[in-house]
Structure 1
Amino acid sequence: MATGRRRKQESEQIPKLVVIGGGTGLSVLLRGLKQEPVHITAIVTVADDGGSSGRLREEMDMLPPGDIRNVLTALADTEPLMEKIMQYRFTNGRGLAGHNLGNLLIAAMNDITGDFVTAVKQLSEVLAVRGDVLPAANESILLKAEMVDGSIVSGESQIPRAGKKIKRVFLEPADVVPLDEAVRAIREADAILIGPGSLYTSILPNLLVGGLFDEIKASSVPKIYICNVMTQPGETDSFTASDHVIAMYDHLGGPFLDTIIVNTAEIAPFVLEKYEEQGAAPVLCDMDNLERLNLEVVAEPLIMFNGGVLRHDAKAVSKKVISIIKQ
C-alpha cells in the first residue's frame, strides 16, 4: 500500500505538458519530450483533407487520421519495425495505392469501436504511447482561407497551393465544440506548448476551436511558442518570428503567449540553396520586435540537418522547455 501511494505521489509531481499543433514538426519535438520526466498530452488538428487522410475522411466519414498517426508513432514505445509498419505507404494496389497503413489501422479501430477518440486511446495502449493523444474536436473541420485579394480557398491541403497571400483562416463549422478531454488537459496543465508546425494549417486550426482557446487564454501557466525554423511556401513567405506571433494574435483577439523559442543557428549555404529551390528561407529572429510584443525570447542554436532536411534538435528544444517550466 505504501509503495502504491508513493508511486501515485510521484506521478502527481510530474509536470503536465499540453502540446498543440500538427504535422512533422510536432512529431519531431515529441520524440524529444517523451524522454523527459513530463506527462504529455498532444492535442492535434483534425482539419487535414489531403492524401490518404482526406480519402478516409470522405469515404468513411471519420476524422482525418494522418496527424494523429504521426503523433502516436512519435510517442510510441515500440520496436523500430512497428514504427515502419505505422508509417508504411502503399505504392500500388487498386484502392490501396497512396494509403498509409497506420491510417488504415486507425480507420479499422474507428470502425470496431464506433468512436474515433476511443479508437485512438485503444491504439495508444497497443503502441505503449507515452502520454495522451487527443483530437482538438470530435468532428471533422473544414479549414478555409480568405486571401488578401478577397478570394476564398477551401481545404487545408489547397491553401498553400493557391499561390496567394493569406489574410486569415477560419473554420467551418465556426462553432465547432472542443473535445472534453482536451479542455480538461489544458485546465490541468503545468505548461502549454504551441508548435512547431504549419502556422495557418496546423497551429491555427487548433487555436480557432473557440472553447479550446478560451481555456488556453484563461490558463495562468506558461504558454510557450516554438517558432518554425524555415518559412513555408504559400503560407508564411518572408515571415519573421514576430510575424508568426502577430498572425496568431490577429486571429485570436490579442496577446496570449509568454515565451517564444527561436532558432539562431546559421544554416550551411548548400542547405539554404536546397530550401531556396522550394521557395523557403530561414525565419529571422527579429529580437526587437519580439521584445516589443512583451515576450520572453529564448534565441539559441536549436537545429540539426538530418536525412536531407532541417529539423529542430528535439533533445535540445525539450531541455529548453523543461528549464522554462522549472523557473
Structure 2
Amino acid sequence: MIARYPRVVALGGGTGLSSLLRGLKHFPLDLAAIVTVADDGGSSGRLLREFNMPPPGDIRNVLVALSQDEPLLGELFQYRFAADETHYLEGHSLGNLLICAMNAIHGGNFVHAVEQIGRVLNIKGRVYPVSPKATVLKAELADGRIIAGESQLASQGSPIRCVFHDAPVVAVPEAVQALWEADVIVLGPGSLYTSVLPNLLLPEVCAAINGNTRADIVYVCNIMTEAGETDGYGAADHLDALFRHGLARVDHVIVNDEAIPDAVCEAYRAEAAQPVKGEFERLRAMGAQVIRSRIASFLGNTVRHDPIKTAAAVFSIALTRL
C-alpha cells in the first residue's frame, strides 16, 4: 500500500502566503495554493490595465516560494527593473513579465499559464489563481463610504467594515476541487482584508471550505496589526471578520507566542501598528483550538512569520491526518 501525504491547501496572497509555503515545501505534504487576484497596484496593476490579465504579483511570489531551485530562479524571477522615467520596464519584475508572456502564448488562459510557469520553476505542489479573471475588491468603511481597489482600502482614515465584489466572480474549478479534497485548509498569514478575505468572497470557495466537514480549518494569525486595515484588532477580531464574510468554522488558530523586543514594538508604533493580542479565551469560546507557538523571526526592527517554524505548526496538525 502506497502511503498518502496529507493534502494541505493554503489560501491567501501577499508575502504572508509565500512565506508559509516556503516552509511547507520542506515537509512531506501534498500541497496546493489558492491565490487572490485582487491586487491592482504596482507592476501587477499596470499589467492588469495594459494586458487585461489577472495581476501576477502574488502568483509570482507563491511560485518562487514553492520552487525547488528557489535561490537561483527566485532571484531571477524577483528581479525588478530600476526606476527610470524613460524606460517602459520601470518597476516591473521579470517574473511578472514572464507570466504575462506565458499568458499570451496560451491565448489568455491564465490558469494554464500559471501551471506552465510552475513547470519552468519546478515547483512542489500546485498553484491556482482563485479566479481566471481579475477581480475588483471593494470595501464598505465604518463611515459608510464605498472604496474600490485593493491598493486604496487601507489609506482612507476609516475602519473597514467589510469587503465585497459588486459583480459575480467565478472560481477556478481546480481550486474548488482541491478544497473539497483537502485534509487541512490554511488561511493566512497575510493582510486580512486584502489578501485572505478576497478568496472567501467567491461563493464556490466558501461553500467548499464550509462543506468539507472532515478537513481541519486553520487560521495563522498575523503577528502585528496593520494600519488602516486591522487597527486595534486582537486574534479573535480577525476570526470574527472571517465569520462575517461567510466562513462557518475555524478549528485551530496559530498565534505567535514569542516575545517581541521593545525596539521592534517602538518601530511599529511609529507606523500605527502593534502586536496582535492573543485573546485566547475568546478564541476558544468561538470554537477554535489555540496553538501558541514561537513563530516570529526578526530582521532589524521588522518581524515576520518564520517560514519553517510556522510550517511546522501547520504540519503538526496535518500529522493527525496520516
Match of 2:110, as an amino acid? F
Which residue is 1:265 aligned to?
258
SS in 1 for 2:186: strand
Aligned to 1:256, the other structure's residue is in SS state coil
AA in 2 matched with 1:105: L
Correspondence list, 1:11-90, <5 A: 13-78=4-69, 80-90=71-81
Structure-2 separation of matches of 1:279 and 1:255: 31
Q: Map Cα deviations across residues 125-184 of structure 1 (whole Å, 9 max, x no partner).
A: 0100000000011111100001111111100000011121111110132x2111010011
TM-score by length of 1: 0.94
- Structure 2: distance between partners of 1:214 and 1:323: 26
Within 5 A, what are the aligned runs for 1:1-327? 9-10=2-3, 13-78=4-69, 80-93=71-84, 94-114=87-107, 115-173=109-167, 175-220=168-213, 221-252=215-246, 255-306=248-299, 308-327=301-320
Distance 1:89 1:162 in 2: 29
Rounded to whole Å, the distance in 2 between the matches of 1:172 and 1:75 is 33
After superposing on structure 2, the runs of 4+ consecutive aligned residues of structure 1 that deviate more than 6 Å are none
Q: 1:3 maps to which residue?
A: none
Q: Which runs of 5+ in 2 are unaligned?
A: none
Question: Is the 8 Å Cα contact of residues 46 and 64 (structure 1) preserved in structure 2?
Answer: yes
Identical pairs, percent: 47
Q: Is the 8 A contact 1:265 1:301 kept in 2?
A: yes
Question: Bigger CA drift: 297-306 or 135-144?
Answer: 297-306
Instruction: Kindly state the Cα deviation for residue 255 of structure 1 after the two structures are TM-superposed.
Output: 3.3
Give per-residue Cα distances to partners, 1:260-295, cap 9 Å, x unaligned: 001121100111111111111100001111111011
Gaps of at least 5 residues in structure 1 are 1-5
Aligned-pair CA distance for 1:247? 1.0
Separation of aligned partners in 2, 1:265 and 1:127? 34
Answer yes or no: is the 8 Å Cα contact 2:6–2:319 preserved in 1.
Answer: no
Number of matched pairs: 316
Instruction: Encode CA deviations 1:29-88: one digit per residue, 9 max, x unaligned.
Output: 111100000011000000000000000001000010000000000000115232111111
Superposition RMSD on alpha carbons, in Å? 1.2
How far apart, in 2, do the equivalents of 1:314 and 1:133 lie? 18
AA aligned opposite 2:141: M
Stretch deviating more after TM superposition (103-112 or 317-326): 317-326
The letter of the residue matching 2:163 is: V
> TM-score, normalized by length of structure 2?
0.95
Give 1:251 shift.
1.8
Q: Matched residue of 2:164: which SS?
A: strand
